Chain A
């Protein structure tokens, strides 16, 4: 309509970009049958049971652990990028070419989480 997108159009377009179609979803469920996520099934099932979901369908349990894993993985990737950027800046300054182990610290994590709206605060007198 006159080249102006309504809010509804925008949201459905957005959905199409982010959400799975029916066929893709069936495909995903099929793939999950032969997939072992990093979070063990038993653990995910335990936490699901604790929130009141009573299921024995491993595909559903795996779907949830995969989603949680993806969520974590995105955060960790961002933290890694931040860490590398900091490291490269320091390296450029000190010009040390020493092989260093990559260490994940709270300093990397806090800004990444803040970016996603999660505020992590250190307890005041925590040792």
Chain B
């Protein structure tokens, strides 16, 4: 690939050298040194590149992607080139022509599908500007899609209720289709399917087992109790002592139950000093994941 690129570059450069040589002949020289030709080739190459760069800067500055003749004129004027002499130079008598490089046939691109009619330039753009023609209208014509959001309360409310009803019906149908169902109308079984009730084996169980919310509440109450207890312990009031005694008794009654932790039953004098510090830390730590693990304690059923 690299070698190929160099050869392409080299051939273009050789063509430039040839044109320089032709110019030398045109001017009146018969022979030229190799290094002269090479120097001039280098110069003409950088001149073309420089004018190209400058032109690009001009047309990009005016927001176009294709150059016009005026961009090039500006670039040339910027380089200090006397443009006026070009007209005379065009009509010079001795002209050596090198001929054109035969172009290899380019692979023909499929014709672009044109959509809509191309716009003409507005009146104030003169033809002499030679701007490139406008592109296909579909590249810049804009059609708004969607509607403005509805703001009327009554309509929105109606929509919400319709949507809610739709969702409910769809859900019901889904459950009815996937599970057992009864037909509301005996003639047409599919029109109003009703979800079949599923009788549970122990209907009373739900009433007995505390729900999740209740357990959490219980737990929270319990932890609050504990905190109060610990603060009270610091200022050993006779009331708290009494309560503690009661708890001790209660704990001893259900020693066998695992739900009641041994912490309360095995209370020894040095331990009560520690819980305050252990209880204070949760106040600092608000993140529930960092708190020490506590098992929910159920109240004893009586």
Interface residues of A (CB under 8 A from B): 15, 17-20, 22, 24-29, 31-32, 35-36, 38-44, 46-48, 50-55, 57, 59-60, 63-73, 75-77, 79-80, 83, 101-106, 109, 118, 120
Contacts and interface: CB of A to CB of B under 8 A. Distances in A.
B33 A106 contact: yes
24 contacts: A15-B77, A18-B77, A19-B83, A20-B83, A25-B69, A29-B130, A38-B22, A39-B16, A41-B101, A43-B15, A44-B48, A50-B49, A53-B55, A55-B67, A64-B51, A64-B72, A69-B89, A73-B23, A73-B27, A76-B27, A76-B40, A80-B29, A104-B31, A109-B39
Contact of B128 (A19, A22, A63, A109): A22
A85 to B, nearest CB: 14
A77 B67 contact: no
A76 B56 contact: no
A70 B28 CA distance: 15
A67 B24 CA distance: 16
Contacts of A83: 29
B73 interface: yes
Interface of B: 12, 15-16, 19-20, 22-24, 26-33, 35-36, 39-40, 43-45, 47-53, 55-56, 65-70, 72-73, 76-77, 81-87, 89-90, 95-101, 103, 128, 130
A32 B73 CA distance: 14
Contact of B52 (A32, A52, A71): A52
Contact of B69 (A29, A35, A65, A101): A29
A54 B66 contact: yes
A79 B31 CA distance: 13
A48 B29 contact: no
Q: Describe A's contact surface by its main secondary structure.
A: helix
A51 B52 contact: yes
A68 B36 contact: no
Given A38-B23, A47-B48, A102 B83 contact: no
Contacts of B101: 40-43
Contacts of B12: 43, 46-47
A26 B49 CA distance: 24
B26 A47 contact: no
A59 B98 contact: no
Counting from the closest, the 6 A-B pairs by CB-CB distance are A51-B52, A104-B32, A76-B27, A18-B82, A101-B30, A47-B48
B29 A104 contact: yes
Nearest to B28: A80
A76 B81 contact: no
Contacts of B69: 25, 29, 59-60, 63
A72 B33 contact: no
B29 A102 contact: yes
A48 B48 contact: yes
B87 A28 contact: yes
A92 B97 CA distance: 36
A29 B28 CA distance: 28
B138 to A, nearest CB: 22
A105 B24 contact: no
Given A20-B84, A102-B28, A60 B103 contact: no
A36 B101 CA distance: 12
A43 B73 contact: no
A104 B262 CA distance: 112
Given A19-B84, A67-B81, 15 more contacts: A19-B77, A32-B90, A36-B99, A38-B22, A39-B16, A41-B100, A51-B50, A53-B55, A60-B68, A67-B72, A68-B48, A69-B19, A69-B23, A71-B81, A103-B33
